[in-house]
Structure 1
Amino acid sequence: MEKLHQYISGYMSKWLSIATLAGMGGGLAAVMLKKSIIFVKHFGGGFPLWIAPAIGGIIISLIYLYDPHAAGLGTDHYIDAVNLEEQYHLTFKNFYTKIASTAVTLGFKGSGGVEGPMLMIGASLTDAIASVPILRRYISGREFDIVTICGAAGAIGAIFRSPIGGGIFVAEVLYHSSLHYSDLFPAILSSIMGFVVYRMLVHPTPMFDIPDYLPDVSNIPVFLLSAIVAVILSIIFTKVYTVVYRMFCKLPGKKIHPIIGGLLTGLIIMQLPQVSGTGIDVIQTMIDKNLPITLLLLLLVGKMFATSFTVASGGSAGLVIPALFIGAIAGNSFSTILKVTDPALSSSLVVSGMAASLASVANVPIAAAVMLMEMAGYKLGVPAALGSIIGYAVGHSHVIYGISCPDDWQYNDFKEIKKRDRKHGGH
């Protein structure tokens, strides 16, 4: 009984405090990023579409002169910060440079999401937390990694309005679909606190507005087919991104790559403005109504290449929302081809496709199901869960993270991480 009392009063109270603090910091970071993107859009929106991403690229190149780690999607930096803590460390400088570079990338019409930057932004809070003398005395060794995970969880839970799924995502993405409970429970607490702070300050609506719907068992085969198509498209997206990334690896003048990527992105969004930014509004349109197949195909190709040019060139944006975008196209295509007139069934096909695409691209089958239920509504748990299972089963070997230039130090380190994960039972 005495040992139980010591555990509750010592270990539990310590992590309740630290996880709460880190989660609140992550939630505040999500608010800062959202408001920063809105602020920059006022300036980026005044330029023609074809040149806006390139102008953003010029600003980003200047930011990278100060902090090269602000480049790219950010997820790999988060993974390295946790798994390679002795070789790689995020600092508070990365916090504000990543917010600035992400706001510029998306504010000037670059194509991408926010999850990768948010992982890095939240994780970089560890440096600030660990610098507080009263806290530093109680954090040592492996516990620094858990604080890093908690900061990332608070940011993800807030920005995706997913208090449970955000915590699962940051733990699951580390080890390629295996979960460590020592990471999971503090992460979920932090994710909840991040969501609470975000909700208090931003008053967010749900990410997607979905009609109430109780799945009919007779529709399960259609959900599965929608998920399979989404996985195939996601694998193609991963291949496209890899090819574009390796193309930029071979180009000289790395510091001006964001400008080149911005010019290429501008050529695409000049013809297809729907693929600029995060594309959440377009996903909502695909939930609400069936779109013509020709338009869906154009959006598919445009989003794949616009996102690849933006992120692979060094623009600061994530790949999860583009993955959701691609999954939504798969579901909406099925709805259009089958001439579905029930809006609830049509939106369920879109949710199934999004869950499959997320589970495939990021290797997070549990997080994908939970996050889609929290973003779209728990009544859509059946298509979300089925899509997630299919996404992981078919596409788990095509994870989009860890793609680096062969001469990049992260390339070899990431391969070592995957070997370590397999040794300890990860996938």
Structure 2
Amino acid sequence: MQTLARLCSSWRRSKFRLLALSMLVGLLGGLTAVAFYYMLHLFSAFFLGYLACFHPPTPGGEDPLFHFGGAGECRRGLLLALPALGGLASGILVYRFAPEAEGHGTDAAIEAFHKLSGLIRTRVPVVKAIASAFTIGTGGSAGREGPVAQMSAGLGSIIARALGLSTRERETLVISGISAGIGSIFKAPFGAALFAVEVLYKRDYEAGAFIHAVVSSFTAYSIFGLVTGWQPIFTIPAYTFTPSELPVFAALGLVCGVLSVIYVVVFYGMRDKLFKVLKTPNFLKPTIGGLMLGTLGLVFPYAMGTGYGWIQQVLTESLELEVIVPLIFLKMLATSFTISSGGSGGVFAPSLVIGAMAGAAMSSLGADMLTQPKILPLVGMASFFSGAAKCPLSSIVMVAEMTGDYNILVPAILASTLSYMVSGEWSIYEKQLPTKVRSPAHFNEILSELSRLSSELPKRATKVLMALKAREVMSRDLVTVDKDAPLESVYLLMLKTGHHGFPVVDEGKLVGFISIHELGRVSRDLWKKTKVGKVMVKHVKTVPEDEPVYNIALEMEKLGVGKLVVVDRNDPQKPVGILSKSDVLKAYNTALILSI
């Protein structure tokens, strides 16, 4: 027994433990990707192929897995109705069981890392898989990377919670899950590992999790390849790099940068200006978006589905310019109808289609300027996603892996860099943060550094932090919960506000604090019956409203907390605001700037 205890203790302290768990996440993520892949093919074959007799082309590396017949002319009435029915099924599933599973799942995984300490509910992977299968399988203009990223990230979170891992370890396994899902479903293991650490920020990387992401991604890729085969998704002719053609690739990068901004503006404009203001229940909005997509599909069916087959067409065959140019912009609309309405699916596949069509349009217009014009769609895929997602490195590597041709690296690097620069701060992933300094996930590290350097800070910076009082930087938009409220209502409040902790009150008096950590200790099935007062932290550390921010920062680092309740100076039980990690970080950055 003592030997077993020593082994367990040694395992907990081992630096290889998290690598082994990353491999486990990769194993489960690969199996999940296989199941999701087959589910997508099944739904598409039945709904689009059998019912609607709609058979879009497939990429060269993927053959249809199911055949139900469906020969004859396309049934246009069903092609109109199917996206709406898929949106209805998806909306009911998501908004009834897991509202955080709506939209493109990569953003939800990013938010879980930054703001939710890596906590993802157990039911999310299942709900996301089924909802996305309905959305994509009925013709929705969406990709499979977002859903599988959120599903696998959820598996990482579940494993971490089950083993009682620390917050930092849980966040690392969430990154490993993102890498596993994308590396397997796209057969791009190294690019996916880069993507997982790059997509969290616009101008930074989560370098500390890179090795874990690599281990997880290659494990998942191995599982997926054993079942589905090792061939790349797209087949392309051989390409030889010619330096004299670089100006053409530079021009493509500039064009893709501009197009990526248009894509982001249309995508979120559709959400904020149309679907958010609709006076209809949220679960019905994907139905409306699906009906809009179906209407578009009657006129221009090329915009429906993932669009991978049309990419293959411009890579190895031919597609008329009269189709290519409209597809660039109508794919943006189709994707916005599908996902901005609350439908479940990814934005990576539509981005590849738009980028490929931009490259194909340039190759059609300037074919005489290139020895191999078919390479432009490939470079367009990488450069467009680089601008839209703020992921230049992973975009380049993933496209190379998805096609099996690394000769595109030099032109892709040039075009992707220019696209990234031209697109500025615009990103299709709105939960991305600029750098680690803005991420609550790294707050304790930054506070530790502040504590270590406190004696070295410029005197003026210290004076600024001492002069700033809690009431000047705290959030006055105080949201509290009653001690008799059920945990379910607290979780819904977290989803609505984006906060992951609230003061608990009883008749207006502060009696405790409830955070996502306390929710995570209670089984999801008991949330409706369990009262906040049963699990809340009762001994709450508070700060008076006139306390200097400098002292508060050091106190947060000492206690290892991310929020402190600010109370009235004359009534310690009367909360007047909340001071979060981000509030202190902003004050810290201000102090450093003013000290220069």
Contact 1:290 1:332 in 2 (8 A): no
Q: Please state how far the C-alpha of 1:66 moved relative to its aligned partner.
A: 2.2
Q: Does 1:274 align with 2:302?
A: yes
Q: What TM-score results when the alignment is normalised by the length of structure 2?
A: 0.65
Structure 2 CA distance, aligned partners of 1:212 and 1:199?
Answer: 23
Report the equivalent of 1:59. 89
What are the Cα deviations for residues 312-364 of structure 1, in whole angstroms up to 9, with x where unaligned?
A: 1111111111111111111111110013497x722321122111111111111
Equivalent pairs: percent with the same residue?
31
Structure 2 CA distance, aligned partners of 1:252 and 1:310?
Answer: 18
Structure 2 CA distance, aligned partners of 1:300 and 1:116?
Answer: 21
Higher relative contact order (CA 8 A, sep 6+): 1
Question: 1:171 and 1:266, CA in 2 relative to 1: closer, same or farther beyond 3 A?
Answer: same
Structure 2 CA distance, aligned partners of 1:114 and 1:387?
Answer: 25
Structure 2 CA distance, aligned partners of 1:408 and 1:17?
Answer: 32
Query: Which residue, out of 261, 275, 282, partners 2:289?
Result: 261
Question: 1:10 and 1:378, CA in 2 relative to 1: closer, same or farther beyond 3 A?
Answer: farther
SS of residue in 1 equivalent to 2:306 = coil
* Higher helix fraction (1 or 2): 1
SS of residue in 1 equivalent to 2:166 = coil
SS of residue in 2 equivalent to 1:326 = helix
Shifted more, 395-404 versus 186-195: the winner is 395-404
Contact 2:388 2:426 in 1 (8 A): yes
Q: Please state how far the C-alpha of 1:205 moved relative to its aligned partner.
A: 2.2
What are the Cα deviations for residues 244-280 of structure 1, in whole angstroms up to 9, with x where unaligned?
A: 1111011122220011001000011122222211111
Report the equivalent of 1:124. 154
Contact 1:292 1:336 in 2 (8 A): no
Report the equivalent of 2:402. 375
Report the equivalent of 1:202. 228
Structure 1 CA distance, aligned partners of 2:198 and 2:216?
Answer: 15
Q: What TM-score results when the alignment is normalised by the length of structure 1?
A: 0.89
Report the equivalent of 1:28. 31
Q: Does 1:214 align with 2:214?
A: no
Q: Please state how far the C-alpha of 1:386 moved relative to its aligned partner.
A: 1.6
Question: 1:325 and 1:84, CA in 2 relative to 1: closer, same or farther beyond 3 A?
Answer: same
Structure 1 CA distance, aligned partners of 2:582 and 2:190?
Answer: 26
Structure 1 CA distance, aligned partners of 2:294 and 2:583?
Answer: 36
Shifted more, 374-383 versus 354-363: the winner is 374-383
Q: Please state how far the C-alpha of 1:55 moved relative to its aligned partner.
A: 1.0
Unmatched tracts of structure 2, length 5 or more: 1-9, 53-77, 433-492, 501-580, 590-596
What are the Cα deviations for residues 155-205 of structure 1, in whole angstroms up to 9, with x where unaligned?
A: 110011111010110111112241122111111111111111110111142
Structure 2 CA distance, aligned partners of 1:388 and 1:301?
Answer: 20
Unmatched tracts of structure 1, length 5 or more: 1-6
Q: Does 1:354 align with 2:384?
A: no
Structure 1 CA distance, aligned partners of 2:256 and 2:98?
Answer: 36
SS of residue in 2 equivalent to 1:49 = helix
Residues 157-306 of structure 1: pairs in structure 2 closer than 5 A: 157-246=183-272, 247-253=274-280, 254-306=282-334
SS of residue in 2 equivalent to 1:179 = coil
Contact 1:291 1:336 in 2 (8 A): no
Query: Which residue, out of 83, 89, 97, partners 2:114?
Result: 83
Contact 1:106 1:278 in 2 (8 A): yes
What are the Cα deviations for residues 10-65 of structure 1, in whole angstroms up to 9, with x where unaligned?
A: 54421221111111111111111111111212331214211110111121122122
Structure 2 CA distance, aligned partners of 1:37 and 1:363?
Answer: 28
RMSD: 2.8
Residues 2-17 of structure 1: pairs in structure 2 closer than 5 A: 11-17=14-20
Structure 2 CA distance, aligned partners of 1:83 and 1:250?
Answer: 28
Query: Which residue, out of 40, 43, 55, partners 1:40?
Result: 43
Contact 1:228 1:391 in 2 (8 A): yes
Q: Please state how far the C-alpha of 1:220 moved relative to its aligned partner.
A: 0.5
